[in-house]
Chain A
Amino acid sequence: MTSEQTKPLSRHFIDLVEKLSNASGVSGAEGEVRIVVKEYLDSLKIPYRVDALGNVLVEHSCGKPNAFRLMLAAHMDEVGLMIVEEEEGGLYHFEIVGGIDLRVLPGKTVLVGKQRIPAIIGAKPIHLTEPDERKSPITLENLRIDLGPGGAGKVKPGERAVFSTEFHDNGFSFTGKALDDRLGVAILLTLLENPPENIDLLAAFTTQEEIGLRGARTAAYAFNPDAAIAVDATPANDLPVWNDDENIGYNTRMGFGPALYVADGYTLSDPRLVRLVQDCAQKSSIPYQIRQPGGGGTDAGSIHKQREGIPSMSISVPIRFAHTPCSVAWHSDIAGMVDLLQSVLHTINNDILALPR
């Protein structure tokens, strides 16, 4: 079911994803990612502005009167950690920013603060635990970020930490942290290299998505677009069920192409947009899947309720193990995503608004 007809990902694109994945950008402190985005835009000589929330906003006008205004949003922020209190000997108390299952924290390495100081999150030696104790996760209360004994005073409460997972590409898939949603950021930057000729493309690299879709909210107000598509990453829960039952709650599946949202926890997608995107996929023979309706949310959740309402939907790359130290994404799904969005940019126009919703 992999989309073998799509173009392979370029070295240039993979290098960009690597840079973005390795950059630190916990919600509210997206600086390192913003730098990568700005440098990339500068290299393309594309003007941008940075708003009060730290969103990077690019307004590409096609120069034609009454052109359709399409907003694409990809969030720069990632889930992560914040130092909240210093203890003796280079040990620090921390809290979780965004949705991280605390069961993925023990035994991992992190990078703390703007200086990217390496540190570890340890766990009690198994020899000192009881079998029953191991059945319960180690609570946040009992975990510390450890900089080593010389780490006293090196970082301050308020500084952020991210998993120190290094990006890896094996030619078939990517592994790395924060693929949610650095893949979307890389895809948007790539689309800006060949902007559409007949519509205005409004690209928002948003902040604070993981803590309430907040950057997209103000970006959508500023852009005031005719329609919007959130470009994100969504879990592929396509693993086997423990007892070999059929997996009916997979959300999305790897290798089935970009995932179109009909309904999630925050948004009922505009059916006109969903139909148009499906038509584009079929016309260009790009495999796609419909994300199983359910919970979760994307920037579309705040965009569609901005101003008097903005027709919106989301399209996501399926990824495994989102919000953990190491997520996995397949080349074929990402390449399909780029092709599909390119097709949409060249197809969509004002006609869509004339249709009844």
Chain B
Amino acid sequence: MYDSLPFLKKILALPGLSGYESPVRQVIADEWGPFVDELQTSRLGNLYGIRRGTASEPRPRILLAAHMDAIGLMVTQVQNGFIRFTRIGGVDPRILPGQKVIVHGRRDLPGVIGQPSPRLLPEFIGKKTVPMEYLLIDVGLSTEETRALVRTGDPISFAQPPIELTDNTLAGHTLDNRASVAALSVCLHELSTIRHTWDVWAVATVQEEETLAGAITSPYDVRPDIAVAIDVTFAKGPGGGGYKTVPFGKGITLGWGPNTHPAIFEVFKKVAEHLDIPFQTEVSPAQSGTDAMDLQVSGAGLPSLYISIPIRYMHTPVELVSMKDIQRAGHLLAQTVASLEADFVQQIRWED
């Protein structure tokens, strides 16, 4: 069986902020290469891994999208040898003080986010959260050297290395959404060992955390008949409860709401039930917050679905995932794709 853990650990350790995905794209391409017939890169930087099916031309196509970009920070100003910064993607300032980062300046500079002492901050802050604009990064160099190496606009990544915890779990930053990139690797590997009639376009999309630009443009290159987004969702745990959260490590979720076409939901659900893959329905009253939002309305519109891997502590450098769920997501994707008959597109309809 294909073990995605070494690959996942490798890509978690690579930078690839939204809009700057090339360091991670190359490594994903290397991993997918043996499992696909062709690799392509789009004008915005999406990576396409293409497996051709056995049906006669013109073959139907399914697009499987997982975004590879990471949240992070960006230099706004270098002041007296210290770096002020803003965020790329959603970052809660409460996780920042004491966080180790890498500033991608003229060379990569390890640094730490410092919280200035109270007398250096406006009085209103007191014991409250220090807003991001008052935090500073120290790269441990002299003022002159920092000034020479760092410029406004340089991207900044979290430096937390991935760590394995108990019960086959992995903690690290950017499991949102490289856990799903790993699930796509599992899927592509499995498809390379079984027969499927459809063409499969696995896409590692760009810029999801800011603009969804990778997802919305990908169907123009791919021209799929169905689009599925693979992303992460909220697992129950400290700070996470209520209907928006699902148990951790107990299976994946199939999304249900306006971003879901019921017929696509149904086909994945049936395969999951048939294979005893544990899943829950994740309900989203309006937008799902995934690539599926934009895939669905791309061009003339696409039947779409989103599948999610539950993680704890989303958008912190210590996101936590169960490797079992990554395996489950990849397995379900591969088996569902393989179950699609050549004429399935004609069966997709609204059962009103």
Contacts and interface: CB of A to CB of B under 8 A. Distances in A.
A106 B113 CA distance: 13
B19 interface: no
A123 B92 CA distance: 9
Contacts of A241: 120
A122 interface: yes
Q: Is the interface of B mostly helix, strand, loop or mixed?
A: loop
Given A103-B97, A118-B163, A128-B234, A142 B239 contact: yes
A148 B166 contact: yes
Contact of A144 (B171, B234, B238, B244): B238
B95 interface: yes
B141 A120 contact: no
Interface string A171-203: 011110000000000000000000000000000
Nearest to B100: A326
Contact of B166 (A124, A129, A143, A154): A154
A165 interface: yes
Interface in B328-347: none
Interface stretch (A28-36, A257-265, A276-284, A317-325): A317-325
A142 B92 contact: no
A91 interface: yes
A133 B315 CA distance: 16
B110 A168 contact: yes
Contacts of A21: none
A129 B242 CA distance: 13
B208 interface: no
A213 B141 CA distance: 33
Nearest to B317: A107
A107 B316 contact: yes
Contact of B234 (A125, A147, A320): A125
Nearest to B130: A103
Contact of A235 (B117, B129, B138, B242): B117
Nearest to B242: A128
A268 interface: no
Interface in A313-343: 320-321, 324-326, 328, 330
Interface string B139-162: 011100100000000000000100
Interface stretch (A38-46, A58-66, A69-77, A242-250): A242-250
Given A122-B313, A146-B165, A320-B114, A135 B238 contact: no
B239 A122 contact: yes
A118 B171 CA distance: 10
Given A146-B165, A149-B166, A123 B110 contact: no
Contacts of A126: 90-92, 314-315
Contacts of A148: 165-167, 169, 171, 320
B240 interface: yes
A120 B164 CA distance: 10
27 contacts: A101-B115, A103-B97, A107-B317, A118-B164, A122-B318, A125-B234, A125-B314, A125-B316, A128-B239, A134-B92, A137-B94, A142-B239, A146-B238, A147-B165, A148-B171, A150-B167, A154-B166, A170-B140, A173-B141, A239-B82, A242-B120, A242-B121, A242-B122, A249-B120, A251-B117, A255-B142, A328-B140
Given A134-B129, A137-B94, 6 more contacts: A91-B238, A122-B238, A122-B313, A149-B249, A239-B114, A249-B120
Interface of B: 79-80, 82, 90-100, 110, 112, 114-117, 119-122, 127-130, 134, 136, 138, 140-142, 145, 160, 163-169, 171, 234, 237-240, 242, 244-245, 248-249, 289, 312-320, 322
